[in-house]
Chains A and B, each alone.
Chain A
Amino acid sequence: MDTFLQQMVNGLTAGSVYAVVALGYTMVYGIIQLINFAHGEVVMIGAMVAFSVINLLVPSGLPPLAIVLIGAGCAVPICMLVGYGMERLAYRPLRHAPRLAPLITAIGVSIILQHIALMIWSRNILAFPQIIPSRSYFIGGAAITTIQIAILAICFMLMASLAILVYRTPLGTAMRATAQNPQVAGLMGIDINRVIAVTFILGAGLGAVAGVLFGTYYGIAQYTMGSVLGLKAFSAAVLGGIGNIPGAMLGGVLLGVVEALGAGYIGDFTDVCAWGVPLAACEGGGTFILFGSNYQDVFAFLVLILVLVFRPQGLLGERVGDRA
């Protein structure tokens, strides 16, 4: 039971970060049906910028919380700029091209961003300075740290404010209108290009915050972190129903929990000794584990493939005839 609760806590934390990243994918997809392949790299750049700023400010003696906030405050506008730049240069000219074309430029942009980051921050794994004092609280046998609480709170706030923005403001209405029918939205006086650019910028801003959270939570950042994180967040978006904002939130949290529980229990479930198979390795309470927790990363992909095969519209998505 302790493992279960602990993995739930860990899964919820990771999942809420996935959810925030997934929002970036889903917003862009909802509006122009493009998988912004480079979104993971935006998250990475967010983490990297924050890393540099935090490292720079640590000797200044400012309070730790302020340092992290300044780090995030620098990461967000830079990522927004990157998001806007890539929409403008790589995606907008191809808006009416065949579907494969913007996908391929997205891959190109992703490689370029990754290697620019490699040039600036080297290929080493960077250790985030652990400046926020971490305390653990115990709830029913599971430990939850201050950082985890902060991440859950920040992600929840971000999601809530995005929901308000999309469903309660004129800008949100314009976004939803553009998603439904860009031509008609244009006829109604909505500047579609502006709305699409704003969508990219918002997604990138969310991604930047997610990058900072991810970096402080796991304590590391590397120029390659964006691709796996991006892929997981994309899986989360598909799980919830791509293009659907509440879906991305649900999908992210679910994926985090599935992954954490999977990693926690796969070893026990694939222990051949526990199945009662008499093996030499099992003598005296030994184990013979087929798949250990090092297969954790496989879960996201399995979820992705299973969802696409059995329920391509995702949990909350609507059935669309000939999408993709």
Chain B
Amino acid sequence: MKKILALLLVFVLASGLAACGSAPAAPAPSSSAPAPSKDAPSAPATPADSGLIKVGIVNNPPSESGYRAANVADFEKVFNEANGYKASTFYSLKNDEQLNAAAQFITDGVDYLLISAAATDGWTNVLENAKQAGVKVFLFDRMMNVDESLFEAAVVSDMAEEGRMAVQWLIDQKLPEYNVVHIQGAMGSDAQIGRTGALDAEFEKGTMKRVIQQTATWDEATAKQIVESVINSGEKFNVIYAENDGMAKGAVAALDEAGITHGVDKEVVIMGFDCNKWALRELLAGNWNYDGQCSPFQASVIDSMIKDVEAGKTLPEKIVINEEKFFDARTITQADIDTYGLGD
């Protein structure tokens, strides 16, 4: 009896795992054959067979975050055969695995290597090899610690700019006073440092009052508890600056329970980041005020750069700062949600 039960469980679990293995491959077909296979030496022998540009993409896995899922989807949309590319992709959160994959792409003879590095260090050797092999390198999303001569161009996000834009928007609202509840992301992450910096500067200047500044480590429920404790303390506040959409939603849940109104022309201004579709819909409904985005859409910029290089032009800039976006509840439209919203 026990044995039968155990066997049954093992079977159920095994089938569950098998399903896990296959499902994520569905939205990202290239991930099923991401590892640059060693048994494909025939591929580089015929590079010009169909006139396709061969690119190797090294990225973080889409499961990392909603941001990354959108980023991966964006690259899949641009770098495919319909647009004249033969793309191979490798996803990993680990730098050493990414390095191996990049080296393998070079051996396979790709024309371009597009990299979003898991860590900033350790890439010099691989990029030098790429240069010797005549493979042109583009960096996207994240910079790395290498000499600028080793890559063609980098399209990167500027997290600090994102924070500055949000704080500037807040200043432009010309509220009579600024009593800010600041809910931070996981301490030390790029996004947290960037989104906190500009607001901290205002706190120090004294133009805004820090009612509370507390980390909720990106967790919605923790954000709700933090806001609850502020409400219970009876302190006045009129701005909630949450460093992602989820935490803003948690904060709003606490306001709803306490009967405090929020949104356009209400008691409390709600600010979030990431531009998830559901969050933008809250903006459209006027329940939130601001949503900033660290844009995950770099593929089309790189695409036009590659086309320029192919046409023999030189690129004007080495480092391109990706254009960041934000939405104001007063001006957002359904079209914005459809174009720029992440997820569903």
Do A and B share a complex? no
